[in-house]
């Protein structure tokens, strides 16, 4: 006989290849002996520990959750066999972020200056390919520049300036962003001369004739 793993013969179980003798008294009352020429062939019972990201395909079946799975088959010895796989499934990371910034935004060491959907690809702590998504809104701050030439003084944003120079007005604009306007101001002086004059009968000044004393 050729058997898989073990063989029960005359109330005895044999697990090794060999020749076995069974002695008994037959129906005639005579001492008798039967001989078993036994070949034991092994079934297969492999065990695997596997780790994968997202899914794992084993013997044509795709698994997406961790667990213990069994595959049954007939091995090369013609014996019913079963392999066991202890499977751990890890998953990638897919975080979603929403943020708003003024002018620029730095995410994972990359500076963005426009609104839009930004992606960051990486390998997470489980060793799985991962992608984070950022929905970004960029709002603009305001930086106006004004150049003015004025006589004596200039009123700008509730402040009066009397000297030439560059002046900055800081504020928060309608987008909620810190902003700054710059005034390039040139102050030129008006003229204020004072004269004391005395004349007889009349006096002509800048084309106008005055006949009475006074301040003009």
What token pair was written down for 159? 């402040």
Position 94 scores a pLDDT of 96
pLDDT on residue 37: 97
Mean per-residue pLDDT for 189-213?
A: 94
The per-residue pLDDT of the chain, averaged, comes to 96
What is the structure's pLDDT at 42?
96
What per-residue confidence (pLDDT) applies to 70?
Answer: 98
Percent of the chain with pLDDT over 70: 100
Q: Name the pLDDT band for 104 (thresholds 50, 70, 90).
A: very high
Tokens representing residue 145 in the block: 């520049």
Q: How far apart are CA 106 and CA 111, in angstroms?
A: 4
Q: How confident is the model at residue 176 (pLDDT cuts 50, 70, 90)?
A: very high
* 40-84 pLDDT, tens digit each: 999 999 999 999 999 999 999 999 999 999 999 999 999 999 999
Angle, alpha carbons 180-185-189 (nearest 5°): 155
Q: How far apart are CA 164 and CA 173, in angstroms?
A: 27
DSSP-derived 3-state class of residue 171: strand
For the segment 109-151, what is each residue's pLDDT rounded down to a tens digit?
A: 999 999 999 999 999 999 999 999 999 999 999 999 999 999 9
The CA-based dihedral angle spanning residues 192, 196, 202, 204, taken in that order and rounded to the nearest 10 degrees: -30
Rounded to whole angstroms, the Cα distance separating 167 from 160 reads: 11
């Amino acid at each position: 006989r050729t058997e898989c793993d073990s063989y029960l013969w005359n109330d005895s179980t044999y697990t090794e290849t060999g020749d076995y003798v069974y002695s008994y008294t037959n129906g005639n009352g005579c001492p008798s002996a039967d001989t078993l020429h036994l070949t034991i062939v092994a079934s297969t019972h492999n065990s695997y520990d596997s780790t994968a990201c997202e899914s794992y395909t084993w013997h044509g079946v795709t698994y997406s959750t961790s667990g213990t799975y069994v595959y049954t088959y007939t091995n090369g010895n013609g014996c019913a066999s079963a392999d066991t796989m202890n499977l751990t499934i890890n998953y990638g990371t897919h975080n979603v972020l929403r943020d708003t910034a003024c002018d620029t935004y730095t995410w994972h060491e990359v500076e963005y200056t426009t609104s839009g959907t930004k992606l960051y690809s990486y390998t997470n702590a489980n060793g799985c390919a991962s992608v984070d998504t950022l929905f970004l809104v960029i709002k603009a701050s305001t930086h106006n520049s004004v150049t003015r030439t004025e006589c004596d003084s200039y009123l700008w944003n509730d402040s009066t300036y009397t000297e030439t120079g560059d002046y900055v007005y800081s504020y928060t604009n309608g987008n909620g962003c810190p902003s700054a306007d710059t005034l390039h101001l040139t102050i030129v002086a008006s003229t204020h001369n004072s004269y004391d004059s005395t004349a007889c009968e009349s006096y002509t000044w800048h084309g106008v004739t005055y006949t009475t004393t006074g301040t003009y």
